[in-house]
Structure 1
């Protein structure tokens, strides 16, 4: 399956999620092991300082991380169960509501994807650390994050 078709498939799946609809998160770039997501702040996303609320930034980062984790295994999703186990984020600079849109980029190496695919084929459980960086419209780094994607063999029905 081509990257563009995989990207459309994953984005269509994400687009069905209520959180994605609420936030207006959208896909910008999608390739095996790479996902870039975007959010244009709306009034309901801002905190008391007029900045993008920390929880919204965290959600944007998690969406990008899980997108990157899924992006290289879309064709194997029927055999796997994937979920975020944990995440941590460092807020580096203000995410002013007028500094958007914000981009969350997450990328895994080709070697990591190859190992994940081999582990899925061997039905091995996987815990994968997925990095994310969030920038504003001036490409200033606003936050960095790491999420653990847990990938397990799907149980027989």
Structure 2
């Protein structure tokens, strides 16, 4: 029997947090309607994201493009030209829309902390959240401990940003 489970969560967010400077550059490419050759030139040849390897640059460019593609060009313009605080808020909105894991963490764990005036997140908060997510999406059980640790690191960094 074929498994027809559609995953709710994915771990793509491990490729990076909000990546403000990199996102400004990708948003500029999106606003310029860059074609595949232009993307290759900017990301791989010119290394506009200033990554050590082409594979790292492509991975982060793909993550950012996937996030920003869910939003309208007006938001891309805010990311390129807006002040830092507006850019961060726009990127947070795009990251939440792109990652159900981030959105659900904020909706459940952060909301509960806000309601109870608990200022600090704990490892226990993350562990309980992941257990709950595993009940909703059994595919999470296939994620390695290192992937789970990286997810926690990236999501907590996004919240700090």
Structure number with the higher strand fraction is 1
Structure number with the higher helix fraction is 2
| Higher RCO (C-alpha under 8 Å, 6+ residues apart) | 2
User: Does TM-score exceed 0.5, indicating one fold?
Assistant: no
Q: TM-score, normalised by structure 1?
A: 0.27
